[in-house]
Amino acid sequence: MAETLAQAEDHLVAGSEGAVKPTACIVLNDGQVFYGIGFGAKGTATAELCFNTAMTGYQEIMTDPSYAGQIVTFTFPHIGNVGTNSEDDETADPLAAGMVVKWNPTEPSNWRTADHLSTWLAKRGRIGIGGVDTRRLTRSIRLQGAPHAVIAHDPEGNFDIPALLAEAKAFPGLEGMDLAKDVTCAQSYRWNEMRWAWPEGYANRLEPGHRVVAIDYGAKRNILRCLASAGCDVTVLPATATAEDVLALDPEGLFLSNGPGDPAATGAYAVPMMREILDKSDMPVFGICLGHQMLALALGARTIKMNHGHHGANHPVKEIATGKVEVTSMNHGFTVDSQTLPAGVVETHVSLFDGSNCGIAMTDRPVFSVQHHPEASPGPQDSFYLFERFVEAMKSKS
Establish if 1 belongs to a structural domain: no
Establish if 175 belongs to a structural domain: no
Supply the pLDDT for residue 9. Answer: 44
- Count Cβ atoms within 10 A of the Cβ of residue 198 and give its class: 0-12 exposed, 13-18 middle, 19 or more buried: exposed
Supply the pLDDT for residue 398. Answer: 75
Question: Which structural domain, as residue segments, surrounds residue 319?
Answer: 180-397
* Segment holding 306, helix H or strand E: strand 302-319
Residue 266 to residue 68: CA distance in whole angstroms: 14
Mean pLDDT of the 359-375 span: 97
Supply the pLDDT for residue 94. Answer: 94
Q: Are residues 310 and 380 in the same domain?
A: yes
Rg value, the chain, Cα: 21
Distances (CA, A) of 207 to 149, 188, 228, 231, 255: 48, 21, 10, 9, 20
Q: Are residues 301 and 267 in the same domain?
A: yes
Residue 41 to residue 151: CA distance in whole angstroms: 11
Supply the pLDDT for residue 193. Answer: 96
Percentage of the residues of the chain whose pLDDT score is greater than 70? 95
**What does pLDDT average to over the chain?**
94
Q: Answer whether residue 19 shows pLDDT above 90.
A: no
What CATH number should be reported for the domain holding residue 53? 3.50.30.20
Domain count, the chain: 2
In sequence order, the 6+-apart residues with CB closer than 8 A to the CB of 169 are: 29, 148
Mean pLDDT of the 83-100 span: 95
Q: Are residues 166 and 184 in the same domain?
A: no
Positions annotated as catalytic residues are: 289, 373, 375
Q: Answer whether residue 110 shows pLDDT above 90.
A: yes
Minimal CA–CA distance to 52: which of 96, 10, 17?
A: 96
| pLDDT tens column, 245-279 | 999 999 999 999 999 999 999 999 999 999 999 99
Q: Are residues 96 and 192 in the same domain?
A: no
Q: Are residues 149 and 284 in the same domain?
A: no
Q: Are residues 245 and 139 in the same domain?
A: no
Residue 251 to residue 232: CA distance in whole angstroms: 11
Q: Are residues 148 and 29 in the same domain?
A: yes
Supply the pLDDT for residue 15. Answer: 54
Of 135, 170, 205, the residue that ends a domain is: 170
Name the DSSP letter for residue 140. Answer: H
Supply the pLDDT for residue 381. Answer: 87
Supply the pLDDT for residue 346. Answer: 98
Q: Are residues 340 and 362 in the same domain?
A: yes
Q: Are residues 206 and 339 in the same domain?
A: yes
Q: Are residues 66 and 88 in the same domain?
A: yes
Name the DSSP letter for residue 205. Answer: P
| pLDDT tens column, 21-39 | 899 999 999 999 999 999 9
Residue 73 to residue 67: CA distance in whole angstroms: 12
Collapsing DSSP to helix, strand or coil, 187 comes out as coil
Q: Are residues 248 and 312 in the same domain?
A: yes
Of 170, 193, 226, the residue that ends a domain is: 170
